[in-house]
Amino acid sequence: MALSHSPKTVTDGLVFMYDTGNKKSYVGEPTTNLLNYTTEFNSWTAAKNSGTTPTVTADTSVNPLGFANEPMADKVYLPDDGTYPRVQQYFTPSSTSTHTFSVWIRSISGNCDCFLGAFRNSPWSLPGSSVKSITGEWQRFTFSWTPPDTTTHVIYMGSHDTAAQKGNTLEFWGAQMEAKSHTTQFVNGTRSATAGLIDRTGNSTIDLSPASYDSNAQITFDGTDDYITLGSDSVLQNIGSHATIECWFKSSAAGAKFALMVGWGDGTSYYSNFGIGNWYSAQSDESIYVGVNSAAVIYAENDGSTKYHDGNWHHAVALIGHNNHKIYVDGSEVSVSFPYGSNTVSTSKLFGFTSGTEVYIGLRPYGNGHFQGELPVVKIYDRLLSDDEILQNYNATKSRFGL
């Protein structure tokens, strides 16, 4: 299946892939937008305390994301002949924890200011607000605030009766109110834990429920309880005796901690790992290793268990298969030893040991080996990639990671 991510990466035999740097793969952190009207500003209430009522014109320009399948931006004129001209809508906070509002705004009448405020309706109060400097370029503006209760509130955009906030023509798009301390990628409604990260091959469902996110709504692994799961994935269950796993990673862990990029198995049975650090008791200097089917075969680069806990980006590839148990780092094959098994070990099904075999990113099946750092790209092929193909994939994406 051809992918749009990059025409230079190998797609033949690709059965699973996510890439958090690809908007078609990483849609965003799970969230709920509490607003009923998110892009339809003509459905907001145009209000003022005195003077002329603001006017709203729908669908005046392409949205700031440039997506043809998303609604267009709306134009709002805020008169200067009265007081407090604004557009507003009511909503209900989901809790008294921190909420964050976000919206894209640009001015088409020159630089100006715009007041954004979250008011409690009754008794009237202003628990959160911010004044933003608006230019002719689209910008996404945010502010965080804490609701005093979960009664009806109103989000208000326009003028809080300041001259610089009146007499302006603005365009708005993508209003979002969410119960988080940071803003996430725009959604109209709710983005579930299984809709945020998409397998670009279209074969698997990725569950982000156990994952965490930074202030930019990017997936992070804290080394304690963060991971991603594919569950008992039927496509991977069907992989036969040869496979390739490819990852981009950056570890922020200290010491020789063993940490999984990919782990799979049926609980404590048939456990298999592709990871870094000091994993197996038979050795103490593994840099990067692969273990398959409860140690039917283990092979590792032995160059010190802290080698890849260096805070740098690395491209890692594991080949798994009879006479082809190999590891590549940053485009080159590394020398490996076999503390268990040998290069001749063969497994008829590398992922489908049982119907209960599960696949995890950043963890092994029975709950340890948590990865700490970033794992933005993971791919699984149902065949062995060649040396040239591995180098091709590395060269196609290394500039993105500063290499």
pLDDT attached to residue 110: 95
- Evaluate whether 14-29+192-401 and 32-178 have a shared fold: yes
- How many CB atoms within 10 Å of residue 61? 14
Q: Which residues contact 270 (CB under 8 A, 6 or more apart)?
A: 293, 294, 353, 354, 357
Q: Please, are residues 114 and 134 in contact by the beta-carbon 8 Å criterion?
A: yes
Q: Is 186 helix (H, G, I), strand (E, B) or coil?
A: coil
What is residue 279's predicted lDDT score, i.e. its pLDDT? 84
Give the model's pLDDT for residue 366: 85
> Which DSSP helix (H) or strand (E) runs through 391?
helix 387-397
Q: Which residues, given as ranges, of the chain have pLDDT below 50?
A: 1-6
Q: What is the pLDDT of residue 231?
A: 84
Domain chopping of the chain, boundaries = 14-29+192-401, 32-178
Q: How do residues 278-297 score in pLDDT, each as one tens digit? A: 887 778 899 999 999 988 99
User: What is the tens place of the pLDDT at every residue in 256-269?
Assistant: 889 999 999 998 88
Contact 15, 237 (CB under 8 A): no
Measured CA distances, 143 to 99, 128, 197, 327 (Å): 9, 8, 26, 47
Which pLDDT score is estimated for 5? 46
CA torsion angle 267 268 270 271 (round to 10)? 90
So what's the pLDDT on residue 4? 43
Torsion region of 161: left, alpha or beta (phi above 0 gives left; psi -120 to 50 gives alpha): left
Q: Which fold has domain 14-29+192-401?
A: Jelly Rolls (2.60.120)
CATH number of the 32-178 domain: 2.60.120.260
pLDDT of residue 3: 44
